[in-house]
Amino acid sequence: MTIAAVLRRKGADIVSVSPETLAVEVARIITSRRIGAVLVCEPDGRVVGIISERDIVRAVADRPNATHGVFVRDIMTREVVMVGPETPVQAALEIMDEGYFRHLPVVDGEGRLLGIVSVRDLVRHRFAQQAQDVESLKAYVTRTYMH
C-alpha cells in the first residue's frame, strides 16, 4: 500500500498560493475548501513552504491586532517534508507522527509536485484496504469450507 494508491483514490487536486499571498486570504481558502493546509509555491511550481491552520492560529496569537497585513512568507513552514509516490502508507503516517504535522506533499523523482496527502486521506485508505481484506478473507473461507 503506497502513497500512489492514495493519490489515485483521492485525486491529485493541489491548492497552492504564492509567498506574497496575504494570510487572511489563505484562511478564507482553507475555510471555503474545508482543507487543513495549502502549499506555498513559486511561479515555476517549486514548493517553498506550507501553511496550515496551525500556522494561521499561531500568527493570530502572536499578532492579535495586526493579522491583516501578514503575508504567507512571514508565517509559512519553510522546511517542508515531502514523500514520493512509492512511500508506503505506514511510513508516511510515521513521518507525520514524528514531525507533528498532518499534511505531506508528494513529489516525483525530479521534484515535481504530484499531490498532497493528509492524515485523514491515509486513514481512510487504510480503512478501505482493511475492509477489502476482510471481504477477501470471507470469500476465501466461504469457498474453502462450503465446497
Kindly give the confidence (pLDDT) of every residue in the chain, 147 residues in length, as a single tens digit, with 9 standing for 90 and above. Answer: 899 999 998 887 899 999 999 999 999 999 999 999 999 999 888 899 999 999 998 888 887 776 678 899 999 999 999 999 999 999 999 999 999 999 999 999 888 899 999 999 998 887 767 656 567 677 777 777 766
pLDDT of residue 46: 87
Domains, the chain, in order of start with CATH, read: 3-146 (3.10.580.10)
pLDDT value at residue 63: 79
Q: Where are the beta strands (DSSP E) in 33-94?
A: 37-41, 47-52
Q: What pLDDT, on a 0 to 100 scale, did the predictor assign at position 61?
A: 86
Please indicate, yes or no, whether the overall pTM of this predicted structure exceeds 0.85: no
Exposed e or buried b per residue across 44-79, where buried means at least 16 C-beta atoms within 10 angstroms of its C-beta:
eeebebbbbbebbeebbeeeeeebeebbbbebbbee
DSSP 7-31: HHHH-----EE-TTSBHHHHHHHHH
| pLDDT at residue 53, as a whole number | 92
Q: Each residue of 60-100: pLDDT tens digit?
A: 888 777 667 889 999 999 999 999 999 999 999 999 999 99
Task: State the pLDDT at residue 9.
Answer: 87
